[in-house]
Amino acid sequence: MTNTLSMRGISKSFFGVEVLHKVDFTIEQSEIMGLCGENGAGKSTLMKILAGIYAQEAGEVVFKGNVIRKGTTPLEVQHLGISMIHQELILLNELTVAQNIFLCREPRHKLGLIDFGRMNEEAAQLLNKLGEKIDPRRQVRDLKIAQKQMVEIAKAISFNVELLVMDEPTSVLTGKETKILFDLISSLSQQGIAVVFISHRLKEITDACHKVTVLRDGNFVATREVSEVTARDIASLMVGREVQESKVSDFAGDPNAVMLEVRNVSDDMLKGIDFKVRKGEILGFSGLVGAGRTELMEAIFGIRRPKTGKVLVEGQPVTIRSAIDAIKADLGFVTEDRKETGLVLCRDIGENSNYVFWQKGRGFFKQPRASTANTKRMIDRLGIRCSSPRQLVSNLSGGNQQKVALAKWLLSGARVLVMDEPTRGVDVGARQELYRIIKELAAEGVAIVIVSSDLPEILTICERVIVMHEGKITGELKSSELTEDKVMYYATNIQAGEGHGG
């Protein structure tokens, strides 16, 4: 049987970091192929190369026996019969369903004007084929997400698609909608269309796919028949053979010295979250992207308002309605995206490091002497490499920026420090320094909560790990029982009994 698509030896780097290393990927006609891997394994990048959004540095893409040359535009790729449905749907909200489907290919009258009658009719036919009853004249903004997805699929089919790539299509769907989508995928497959299906939910892979390909750290790991593997096997493949064990000993401090307690935090994303972190403990939050970890931290810190939930600091309930309330309760929050929410890039180190210190202090004036001393102390302690405290934060490297973002909370005297992806975009050397600082802070009695999607990072510093999946806590592990594959089982929420053995 001939391969519909074969990608061979695909390599790609971003800013000198290799994200794909000689990856092979093949799919045959009518096949439904699952594509799995941890965050950052290279799934989306591989598919974006296929769709013509990125150009590979090495390797070739062969579709129906013809090489797709590098530099082929996404539109040309679509005309060849390959369509991709992105994680974030890219429909134009202000246009109608039919206008979106036929964007830039609108049927025209003789005079060159758009023939809306014919366009709506053809759109209706396409949607009928999918068993969807959406009025093609409706504005896309009024549709539900599942319906928008159907419009994307209709658009793909209108290109006479032979290979359809879907990047985590189910992450935004309800159970019922997912079922409908799977029926549709299977009927597309019966019409001879090959489907690549990316998902973090391994059960969906085993339910809906014929085969599964696993990537890890930009490398091809394996392609297996789904009938021959269990979800657990796939999880093991995602993590790798040499499963890393935790290098940290269990928390040895007073188990009763609870610094922060969170009770029953719920909103539309979070489902009844309870957890505690003790004085001097380093607690990790693991999970896949979209598990709700950042949302949880924002809810605790007063950035989001949860529907229910209580926060206690050292046993005392505190009411947190905005960031300033959290700051007054001695909480600190080093955010995930320092450029968006952590730092004022066009101001200097001195100002950025003192914002919270000033909030906490009384008075109208800045206390220049104390502020300057603060900044100097932080530059020394955290090893911030800069020409002077007056240097603009925008001129610092990622690691040094992260240290300034951290300095702001150290100077506030936070007793609980939440760090969301503390080493994202930080080079290896600075990363080790940050780990050392985190451990020092814990030794001084600060309760530390680390949200990280980087499993080796969790294993390197956390004494206890809570794993989340779709807004729920699915598991908790002490560092002595911590292994990458156990975390992965919880993070992908393989049903109980399947994941626990061994």
Partner 1 sequence: MEAEEKKTEGRFLQLVKNIWRNYSVVVMFVLLLLISGAFAPRFLRPENLLNILRNTSVVGSIALGMTFVIIAGGIDLSSGPVLATSGAVLIFLQRMVNPDGTPAVPLPLAILACCAVAVTFGLLNGLVITKAKLPPFIVTLAVGIIARSITMYVCRGATIMGNNIPQFTQIGSGSLFSIPIPFIVVIVMAVLFHIFLTRTKYGTYVFAVGGNENAARYSGIKVDRIRIITYMLVGLCAGIAATMEMSRMAAVAAATSGAQYEFEAITAVIVGGTALSGGRGRLIGTIVGFIILGIVNNMMIMLNISPYLAGAVKGAVILFAVLMQRRER
Which of 177, 267, 351, 421 is in the footprint of partner 1 by CB under 8 A? 351
Q: How far is CA 441 from CA 218, 225, 331, 436, 467, in A?
A: 34, 48, 14, 9, 23
Helix (H, G, I), strand (E, B) or coil at 156: helix
Q: Does residue 475 belong to the site contacting partner 1 (CB under 8 A)?
A: no
Q: Which is nearer to partner 1, 338 or 431 (CB)?
A: 338
Residue pair 382/436 in contact (Cβ under 8 Å)? The answer is no
Stretch that binds partner 1, among 177-185, 351-359, 455-463, 484-492 (CB under 8 A): 351-359
Work out whether 366 is an interface residue with partner 1 (CB under 8 A): yes
Select 315 or 368, whichever has its Cβ closest to partner 1: 368
Out of 61, 188, 196, 326, point to the residue binding partner 1 (CB under 8 A): 326
Residues 94, 138, 157, 165, CA torsion sign = positive
> Closest separation between CB of residue 261 and partner 1, Å?
22
CB of 375 to partner 1, least distance (A): 13
Q: Rule CB under 8 A: which of 328-347 touch partner 1?
A: 333, 335, 340-347
Decide if residue 370 touches partner 1 (CB under 8 A): no
Q: Is 359 in the site for partner 1 (CB under 8 A)?
A: yes
408 binds partner 1 (CB under 8 A): yes
- b/e string for 422-446 if b means 16 or more Cβ within 10 A? bbbebeeebbebbbebbeebbeeeb
Q: Does 380 bind partner 1 (CB under 8 A)?
A: no
Query: What SS3 state is found at 385?
Result: coil
Least separation in angstroms between residue 409's CB and partner 1 is: 9
Query: Minimum distance between the CB of residue 374 and partner 1, rounded to whole angstroms?
Result: 13
Contacts with 453 (C-beta within 8 Å, 6 or more apart), sequence order: 39, 40, 286, 287, 288, 289, 421
- Give yes or no for residue 303 binding partner 1 (CB under 8 A): yes
CB of 337 to partner 1, least distance (A): 9
**Between vectors from CA 248 to CA 495 and to CA 251, what angle results, nearest 5°?**
85
Q: Who contacts 502 (Cβ-Cβ below 8 Å, separation ≥6)?
A: none
Among 54, 116, 355, 435, binds partner 1 (CB under 8 A): 355
End-to-end CA, the chain: 40
Distances (CA, A) of 460 to 205, 281, 476, 483, 485: 31, 14, 17, 11, 15
- Among 71-79, 150-158, 283-291, 356-364, which window interacts with partner 1 (CB under 8 A)? 356-364
